[in-house]
Amino acid sequence: MTYTAPLADMRFALREVAGMARVAALPGYEHATEDTVDAVLEEAAKLAGNGLAPLNRDGDKVGAKLENGVVRTAPGFTGIYREFVDGGWNSLPFDPEFGGQGMPWLLAATVQEMWQAANMGFGLVLLLNQGAIDAIHHHGSAEQKAAYLPKMISGEWTGTMNLTEPQAGSDLAQLRTRAVKDGDHYLISGQKIFITYGEHDLTENIVHLVLARTPDAPPGVRGISLFIVPKFLPTADGKPGKRNDLRCVSLEHKLGIHASPTCVMSFGDDGGAVGYLVGEEGRGLSYMFTMMNNARLSVGIQGLAIAERAYQQASAFAKTRVQSKDDGSPQPQPVSIVHHADVRRMLMSMRAQIEAMRALGYYTAAGIDGALRQPDKEAARRTQDRVDLLIPIVKAWFTDLGNEIASTGVQVHGGMGFIEETGAAQHLRDARILPIYEGTNGIQARDLVGRKIAKDGGETMQGLIAEMRATAEEMKSAPGDDLAAIRAGVVAAADALEDATEWVAESVKGALVNALAGSAPFLRLAGTALGGWLLARSAHVAQGKLASRDGDPKFLEAKLVTARFYAEVILPPALAQLGPLKAAGRTVFALAEEQL
Amino acid sequence: MTYTAPLADMRFALREVAGMARVAALPGYEHATEDTVDAVLEEAAKLAGNGLAPLNRDGDKVGAKLENGVVRTAPGFTGIYREFVDGGWNSLPFDPEFGGQGMPWLLAATVQEMWQAANMGFGLVLLLNQGAIDAIHHHGSAEQKAAYLPKMISGEWTGTMNLTEPQAGSDLAQLRTRAVKDGDHYLISGQKIFITYGEHDLTENIVHLVLARTPDAPPGVRGISLFIVPKFLPTADGKPGKRNDLRCVSLEHKLGIHASPTCVMSFGDDGGAVGYLVGEEGRGLSYMFTMMNNARLSVGIQGLAIAERAYQQASAFAKTRVQSKDDGSPQPQPVSIVHHADVRRMLMSMRAQIEAMRALGYYTAAGIDGALRQPDKEAARRTQDRVDLLIPIVKAWFTDLGNEIASTGVQVHGGMGFIEETGAAQHLRDARILPIYEGTNGIQARDLVGRKIAKDGGETMQGLIAEMRATAEEMKSAPGDDLAAIRAGVVAAADALEDATEWVAESVKGALVNALAGSAPFLRLAGTALGGWLLARSAHVAQGKLASRDGDPKFLEAKLVTARFYAEVILPPALAQLGPLKAAGRTVFALAEEQL
């Protein structure tokens, strides 16, 4: 039940797939030198492995507790959080003007993977804070930025996102929390649910970002505004002052992430919580969209992270659990189960898909940096389009895989996997939230098809497909069976994705419901295809390095093997979603509601 | 969180797919008239829905508790168990000579689906008892049968299976529990783990069947014998007498099935537990194999059952949860989420796969009856071969689907699915044991490839494929788009399964490791293909009944829709396992252990 950050794999994906050197060359990232990046990764790996990972099991078992309105976090959390603040870990990607280190999002995503793998229940407080910082940074006034960002970026205070209400989940247009103007501020009243780290004992203050409706505002999403509602109103000298009229009423009893307090928050029981408008009235939801890409990338990274954690545990178990003889050997003695073909198949499928996710996740993170800092505006816009297209894929595909891989991790353990003490089951329970929060995976598929493909008729996706074909072309002369098989996979993936994209782009115009019926299988196909492409690029790079004796041959050879396994075993069923995605619309509504 | 047995679907699968009338015509089943079968189904549905289902949530929340060596079952369990005994529900398929009702296994499987869907934690006590009865019935002496079977068949006593030890899970050859002859009995000592209902307060006695090793027995499986080790030694007049030297040391803390006490059992702490040899020394494991088909079918049925339960809950939620507007309508008002295409796709995929499982499960149960009672010995043998082939598919495919469908059930609920009070998460937690116990699904895939296909070079599977083609042939003249699409699915399924079977049959001869590497994808392909075939038969029957106005048209039309959805959406990715199952062997062992 330990976690060791897979630094070699991370560095390879960072450098060879995501292009860390190109990112570091962007204006403003000059300080992200290779040495600095390496040092950050090394130190983060230590903190994740030695600090966070050992607290994960108790975080699950003991969890966060609400007592007399106070949430006590799991054992060890206040201490390790202090280490985060003292080490400056919260501040990595943020604006140096407010105390941030201004490091690339690519590096932040890599480090994020470590936190989330080591301890997802803890990692969530970092993730929510990141979202709140983003929102204030993009849309807050100069005074708001000055008052809140330094504290939040240092991690002395944390931020939360208060969106959901019982009747308003995926459909925020239905929200009812009210905000009434009262001098220089507003008075907020209403109840919010599913508020992650809505209350805790890690910091002296908590900065709630709350979506609420002003009186006489139009119905629907245009009536929603965004407010800063701090737990303690900051004094003029930046200390937590008067207690605000808000409280955590209860904690949800959840399947997983027990260490992360999921609060029911009540605002304004005593007349109204003081809230400060962010930006303009009526634009709350559009402000939320600004930070959505970063938040959804982070949740995707959580899917990758929990998969890596489950893989490490399953692999370690398979190497030590002795059971049954080796089929490939005449020896009758039982051997460790890693010698059995089906156990290997499970481990290889975990590993290959994890590498594919890591490649696509880091690639997308590098895109966020490129879109932010490329001097060529037109190139930056194109990169942003690409990021916008990839985000729903990263969020949904990674989190579906996170669940499947965590479940495979349980399976590798046999009967021990079902026993909570083993720890494999926790990863499955923790993973199960990922396809749900930050926009369900159904919402992601809808976003991919109904917005991202619809927006440009599939042009951005066709740009990626062209790059897939270019990779296949470059690989034509590469030697060996492995690269030939991998290349064939890329070609098949490009063909299927092109066909599917054309169909979707056409369908969203005239038969939206058909496109939506096929949206989830389309997303699955797209994710698997793009992951296969980046693994092929990895394998091609690895083969080049092998030829020039540049690096550890065992490590490089493994890249060829996992990419080939992926091409031959993982890709085909996903590409066979081409038929289903087109066909689903024919039958999904063929039954009346009462026939279901 | 209720459960209503889907009687119309069950009856249709029973009659039209499994051929209840043909089963009832077998010698010895004359009393299984249509009226009797109907009455059994109706009464079982009431007991499942009104009696068992309401206890499911507390069974999970409170669970079974061990206190001072006594296991207290979950709230309401002793009362409902009494109803089972009084109603004679345990005795349904067993030998009338010992108080059984001698009903077909097909009917027992149908009723089993209800118990397991209503309350899997409770249902396990029935399932384990069934296995123990089978073992004594097949291999016990006349005295043993007389002493134990009437009590176990009535349910006054329950049976358990004591196989696993810490070092002996899938590999029972490693077991160490000792049995030393001592006059007319043996003294048993050792520790067993994962013993389902190894201790409980439902009955006055518990009959443990224990695998143990006699001194000087050969190593490996041939040294293992089977013993009856009752908690209380029966007196001459059949009452529980002297307490035996065995006890439940602890209960496991598990991911799910909390109501089912999973015991660590210690035998012989005070000198040795009295055990009575079943059959001959050294044949314990082969006796276990006798009852394996029934036990594995039952676990498969559990997979189907939990999927049905999850589907009912998801469908009910989707019809009441209002969120977002209808894409197919100009109305701006939010609608219940069952109007959204991706939610429909999820519900349809649950439903279609459940119907496919039910068809294949009941078909296999009917095969058990046919193999037992067909007068033509040659036909009975062929039927037995078919059952033997189908059992690993039913066990593994159903239980994998049970997990996937329970997970989809959580997803349909959105955020509420992650909250334990909702109940959707319990189904997922409960389902997770199914691919593990009674032979992991990896073991099932190995059995399918290494024994069942290897045994006859795939001939039995080719017999099923011939029937698939015959169904496709019969459907040639059937009218309508639906049946044409369904028929195309059957043809594609037969083609892929034939190709795969030939490859596997060839590979097990020369390259067993390759066949094993592809065994799980092969099983997936086979299950999905066979399920599609039986759904096609259902649809064809339904279309005939529609044409002749025989039955509820809404119900019959739905059979066409689900079969078409299955053919067009579910089948293609599973058939695309053809490439992967052949390719997996190339890479699964390409990494050295230290590269994993």
User: ipTM of the predicted structure?
Assistant: 0.98
CA distance A534 to B374: 58
pLDDT, residue A592, reads 96
pLDDT, tens only, B94-144: 999 999 999 999 999 999 999 999 999 999 999 999 999 999 999 999 999
Interface of A with B in 367-426 (CB under 8 A): 403, 407, 410-411, 414-415, 417-421, 425
Average pLDDT over all residues of chain B: 97
**Where residue A149 falls among pLDDT bands split at 50, 70, 90?**
very high
For the segment B471-497, the average pLDDT, to the nearest whole number, is 97
Cα of B322 to nearest chain A Cα, Å: 8
Quick one: tokens of B270? 């005070």
CB contact A266 to B (< 8 Å): no
Q: Cα-flanking dihedrals φ and ψ of residue B168, to 5°? A: -130, 95
- A576 to chain B: which residues are within 8 Å by CB? 572-573, 575-576
Quick one: tokens of B285? 């494991």
**Where residue B54 falls among pLDDT bands split at 50, 70, 90?**
very high
pLDDT, tens only, A114-145: 999 999 999 999 999 999 999 999 999 999 99
**Where residue B291 falls among pLDDT bands split at 50, 70, 90?**
confident
State the CB neighbour count (10 A cutoff) for residue A35: 8
Is the pLDDT higher at B543 or at B292?
Answer: B543
Gyration radius from chain A CA atoms? 24
Which of B193, B311, B569 to probe the A interface (max A CBs under 10 A)? Answer: B569
Of A174, A324, A575, the CB nearest to B334: A174
pLDDT, tens only, B38-47: 999 999 999 9
Q: Which of A438, A467, A473, A568 is catalytic?
A: A438
CB spacing of A583 vs B569 below 8 angstroms: yes
pLDDT, residue B49, reads 98
- Asked whether A149 and A133 are in contact (CB, 8 A), the reply is yes
**Where residue B391 falls among pLDDT bands split at 50, 70, 90?**
very high
pLDDT for A186 beyond 70: yes
CA distance B369 to B355: 21
C-alpha to C-alpha distances, B515 to B443, B549, B586, nearest whole angstrom: 13, 48, 11
pLDDT, residue A71, reads 98
Closest B-chain CA to A438: B415
Gyration radius from chain B CA atoms? 24
> pTM higher than 0.95, yes or no?
yes
CA distance A199 to A263: 7
- A322 to chain B: which residues are within 8 Å by CB? 167
Of B193, B418, B586, the CB nearest to A436: B418
Average pLDDT over all residues of chain A: 97
For the segment B505-532, the average pLDDT, to the nearest whole number, is 97
pLDDT for A518 beyond 70: yes
* Residue B303: strand, helix, or coil: helix
Interface of B with A in 463-482 (CB under 8 A): none
Closest CA to A596 of B344, B335, B1: B344
Of B347, B520, B521, the CB nearest to A596: B347
pLDDT, residue A290, reads 83
Whose structure tokens read 């944390």? Answer: A158
CA distance A504 to A498: 10
- For B128, residues 6+ apart whose C-beta sits below 8 A from its C-beta are B158, B159, B160, B161, B196, B197
Which of A250, A263, A344, A408 to probe the B interface (max B CBs under 10 A)? Answer: A344
Which of B587, B593, B595 to probe the A interface (max A CBs under 10 A)? Answer: B587
CB spacing of B573 vs A574 below 8 angstroms: yes
- Asked whether B556 and B539 are in contact (CB, 8 A), the reply is no
Quick one: tokens of B30? 């004359």
State the CB neighbour count (10 A cutoff) for residue B461: 27
pLDDT, residue B69, reads 87
DSSP one-letter string for A111-140: HHHHHHHH-HHHHHHHHHHHHHHHHHHHHS
CA distance A546 to B505: 38
Percent of chain B with pLDDT over 90: 97
CB spacing of B432 vs A407 below 8 angstroms: yes
For the segment B48-77, the average pLDDT, to the nearest whole number, is 97
Of B346, B520, B555, the CB nearest to A345: B520
- Asked whether A350 and A570 are in contact (CB, 8 A), the reply is no
- A121 to chain B: which residues are within 8 Å by CB? none
Q: Which of B113, B199, B438, B498 is catalytic?
A: B438
Residue type, B172: L
pLDDT, tens only, A340-350: 999 999 999 99
pLDDT, tens only, B147-204: 999 999 999 999 999 999 999 999 999 999 999 999 999 999 999 999 999 999 999 9
CA distance B21 to B308: 25
Residue type, A539: A
Give the torsion sign (CA, B325, B329, B333, B339): negative
pLDDT, tens only, B362-381: 999 999 999 999 999 999 99
Which of A167, A222, A345, A432 to probe the B interface (max B CBs under 10 A)? Answer: A345
H-helix segments, A475-577: 481-510, 512-517, 519-547, 553-565, 571-575
For the segment A276-287, the average pLDDT, to the nearest whole number, is 97
DSSP one-letter string for A220-266: SGGGEEEEEEESEEEPTTSSEEEEPSEEEEEE--BSS-TTS-EEEEE
Q: What is the DSSP letter of A414?
A: G
Give the torsion sign (CA, A38, A39, A44, A50): positive
pLDDT, residue B1, reads 65
* Residue A357: strand, helix, or coil: helix
State the CB neighbour count (10 A cutoff) for residue B234: 18
pLDDT, residue B520, reads 98
Half-sphere exposure of A201 (CA within 13 A, CB side): 17
pLDDT, residue B328, reads 87
Active site residue A378: no
Q: Cα-flanking dihedrals φ and ψ of residue A210, to 5°? A: -125, 130
Interface of A with B in 138-197 (CB under 8 A): 164, 167, 169-171, 173-174, 193-194
Closest B-chain CA to A577: B573
C-alpha to C-alpha distances, B144 to A320, B92, B98, B140, nearest whole angstrom: 42, 21, 12, 6
What are the boundaries of each domain within chain A?
A: 457-585
pLDDT, tens only, B269-280: 999 999 999 999
CB spacing of B517 vs A587 below 8 angstroms: no
**Where residue A69 falls among pLDDT bands split at 50, 70, 90?**
confident
For the segment A371-380, the average pLDDT, to the nearest whole number, is 97
Closest A-chain CA to B313: A596
Of A170, A253, A340, the CB nearest to B420: A253
pLDDT, residue A1, reads 65
Q: What is the DSSP letter of A511?
A: -
